[in-house]
Amino acid sequence: NIIKGLVRIHQYTIMSAPTIAQAAALEAILNGQEHVECMRNEYDRRRKLIVSGLNEFGLPTFEPHGAFYAFPQISITGMDDETFAQKLLSEERVAVVPGSSFGAGGDGFVRCSYATAYEKIEEALRRMDRFMRRHG
């Protein structure tokens, strides 16, 4: 009897989204555009910073559209993408992902996230600039 009762409660509570979630979704739909625009502007600012910074010290980078990652080409260093990522991490404590992790088309590239604070991107770019002065 207890299990039957619990099954009934479970069935009735999963039939639809909780009322509070429905209210939150409605509020976001009706009044959330200002926040969305603010986030969009902030990510655009970060995107422009990382792309211009990478291009400035010789890593050709196209402006991404639709993701939070820049994908600079690192062939100028003479390193493959895995070596570049490992050395950058060990020498400057900046983590990037080797492009080859995403398939053969990523060879010679690294993925850099800009889904972090603007100030952290600035610091990462300073460190990468030092790295490129030694290896570029």
pLDDT at 5 over 90: no
Q: Find the domain containing 66 and state its range.
A: 34-135
Q: For the chain, what is the largest distance between any 2 Cα atoms, rounded to a whole number of angstroms?
A: 74
Asked if residue 78 is part of any domain, the answer here is: yes
Task: Specify the CATH number for the domain of residue 73.
Answer: 3.90.1150.10
Asked if residue 19 is part of any domain, the answer here is: no
Mean pLDDT of 77-97: 97
Asked if residue 14 is part of any domain, the answer here is: no
Asked if residue 21 is part of any domain, the answer here is: no
pTM, whole model, 2 decimals?
Answer: 0.76
Asked if residue 22 is part of any domain, the answer here is: no
CA distance 43 to 96: 19
Q: What share of the chain is helix, strand, coil (3-state, %, to 5)?
A: 65, 5, 25
Q: How many domains does the chain have?
A: 1
Q: Residue 69 forms beta bridges with which residues?
A: 113
Asked if residue 29 is part of any domain, the answer here is: no
Helix (H, G, I), strand (E, B) or coil at 109: strand
